[in-house]
Amino acid sequence: MAFSENIELRNTTDDMVVIPSGKFKMGCNRFGLMHGAPEHLVYLNQFMIDRFEVTNKRFEEIIPDHKLRRSKLSSCDECPVTNVSWYEAVDYCYLTGKTLPTEAQWEKSAGNGDGCAFPWGYDFDPIGSEGRGGLDMKDKSVPVGSYPPNMYGVYDMGGNVWEWVSDWMASGYPVSQKTIDPKGPSSGIMKVRRGGAYSDNIIAMATGYRDWSHPSSRFFSDIGFRCTINVKGEFSNGLTTQD
């Protein structure tokens, strides 16, 4: 993998949004154990997340050889970068001083605390231009920020392209384990992806819906990512046995 020496200088936190600390309900029971159940309370400390999905232009400032394999279905400079493995997403975030979001961080950033809802609410109006999903694989992604932001000011959390997160995939959530800043299973075979895509069913755009792919998968035209920064110096035992 070649790295660029001509990286445009910018502040690490440019185009990032602060997500405040607190509890939220994660998951959606009606999606079943493989795709969203069980619903459970999670406490997250404050963190920052990219306002937009990483674009081809931004990614290629760090890893320029990606220009040779841009997807024809997400090819513009400001389109979300695709045809990237989970490992390449991790590398990019690391080289820019960030990390991939955990599954819990991604879901809190996406919605209002109800994983059965979309980032904008409970209904999907294909004419209302709220998100890009439910189309055929022959369709394409659109430039990031083409649809309105959610309540946190984050764009494209429902549709456009799937987004890699850091967690390994497991059936259900290990809710009997850590409920403060959870990071998912310690090992696995598949990595979780979130948010749905232009090429998938509309229900996949719900904030609590989860799917998965092999982390070495490199040629999906509908999987991208965004990065996070964990904010140090804050901790809370926001969940108790009574919650």
At 200, which CATH number?
A: 3.90.1580.10
Q: With respect to residue 41, please indicate whether it lies within any of the assigned structural domains.
A: yes
Residue 243 has pLDDT above 70, yes or no: no
**pLDDT at residue number 24:** 95
State the distance between the two ends of the chain, measured CA to CA, in whole angstroms: 47
> Which pLDDT belongs to residue 238?
42
Q: Looking at residues 14-27, what average pLDDT do you find?
A: 95
Domain assignment of residue 111, yes or no: yes
Query: Which DSSP letter does residue 88 get?
Result: H
Residue 236 reports pLDDT greater than 90: no
pLDDT, tens digit, for every residue of 66-88? Answer: 999 999 999 999 999 999 999 99
For the chain, the average pLDDT equals 90
pLDDT at 100 over 50: yes
Residue 6 covered by a domain? no
Mean pLDDT value across residues 91-115: 96
Spatial contact of 19 and 42, defined as CB atoms under 8 Å apart: no
The verdict on residue 1 lying in a domain is no
Number of domains in the chain: 1
Per-residue pLDDT band at 158 (split at 50, 70, 90): very high
| % of residues, the chain, pLDDT over 90 | 77
Specify if 4 maps to a domain. Answer: no
Is 241 part of a structural domain of the chain?
no
Q: What is the mean pLDDT of residues 32-59?
A: 96
Give the pTM.
Answer: 0.91
User: What tens digit of pLDDT does each residue of 104-156 get?
Assistant: 999 999 999 999 999 999 998 877 778 998 887 678 999 999 999 999 999 99
- Helices and strands counted in the chain (H then E): 4, 9
Beta strands in the chain (DSSP E): 16-19, 22-26, 40-44, 47-50, 162-168, 191-194, 210-213, 223-224, 228-230
* E strands, 84-205, in order: 162-168, 191-194
DSSP string for 91-109: HHHHHTT-BPPPHHHHHHH
Residue 99 lies in a domain: yes
195: pLDDT strictly greater than 80 = yes
- The region that residue 69 occupies, defined by phi over 0 for left and psi between -120 and 50 for alpha, beta otherwise, is alpha
More confident site: 234 or 184: 184
**Average pLDDT value for residue range 21-34:** 96
235, part of any domain = no
State the residue range of the domain holding 112.
17-230
Nearest to 15 by CA among 137, 205, 155, 192: 155
Return the pLDDT at 197.
Answer: 95
Q: What percent of the chain has pLDDT over 70?
A: 89
Residue (of 214, 171, 209, 207) closest to 191 by Cα position = 214
Structure tokens at 136: 């055929």
